[in-house]
Amino acid sequence: MGGWWSAARRIESPNQGPRPAGADVTLALIHSISLPPGRYGGDAIERLFTNTLDWSAHAYFEQIRGITVSSHFVVRRDGEMLQFVATTARAWHAGQSVWRGRENCNDFSVGIELEGLEGECFETPQYVRLAELLRALRGEHAGLCDVAGHEHVAPGRKLDPGPGFDWPRLQSLCAWTDQCFPETVRARR
């Protein structure tokens, strides 16, 4: 893999940096995104992550004007996979965050955006591709042992991917143990 997954369309984002020395990837962090909210299939996510979004193209874009963010991957509704940052580098997706007592999740996580709205359901091709990606990431990053949502690392600040995300389905597709997932997710099964 070498940090770039051959099954993904590569679109490099300038919004990245090096991981801190000794920071192994141990967390896959699941997000949801749509731009504008509730619209799928356009190029606005790509433009946001590459700093080429026309802020005047939609009223919502004025609310996010000037932000510089990225994620390692985006999984489209139809399962198409986009990659913006090598997994060996630090993408800018988590913001202020804590997972299992460790702050700054960007330092040790791979950010994966699912095209969708927090709280709404996701599509079967997204789960299939996400599970495939997680297995590939685990093969590339031996320390990867956790999967969580943005809502789990930034509670009260973030809600994604939200209650519409089927965690048991993902766990079943990955065939990973309960210990890899947040306790709140395990309790819902």
- Enumerate the domain spans of the chain: 9-187
113 is catalytic: yes
Strand order in the sheet with 81-83: 9-10, 81-83, 73-75, 109-115, 27-33, 146-149
Does the pTM surpass 0.85? The reply is: yes
Whether the pLDDT of residue 83 is over 90: the answer is yes
User: Which of the residues 113, 115, 118, 151 is marked catalytic?
Assistant: 113
pLDDT of residue 189: 45
Whether the pLDDT of residue 188 is over 60: the answer is no
Mean pLDDT score of the chain = 95
186 pLDDT band, cuts 50/70/90, is: low
Other beta carbons within 10 angstroms of residue 62's beta carbon come to 11
Report the largest interatomic distance among the alpha carbons of the chain, rounded to a whole angstrom.
Answer: 46
Whether the pLDDT of residue 168 is over 90: the answer is yes
How confident is the model over 12-47, as pLDDT tens digits?
Answer: 999 999 999 999 999 999 999 999 999 999 999 999
Please name which of 8, 58, 1 lies closest in space to residue 35, comparing C-alpha atoms: 58
Superfamily of domain 9-187: Peptidoglycan recognition protein-like (3.40.80.10)
What's the whole-number mean pLDDT along residues 133-160?
A: 96
**Contact status, residue 107 vs residue 146, Cβ threshold 8 Å:** no
pLDDT of residue 185: 83
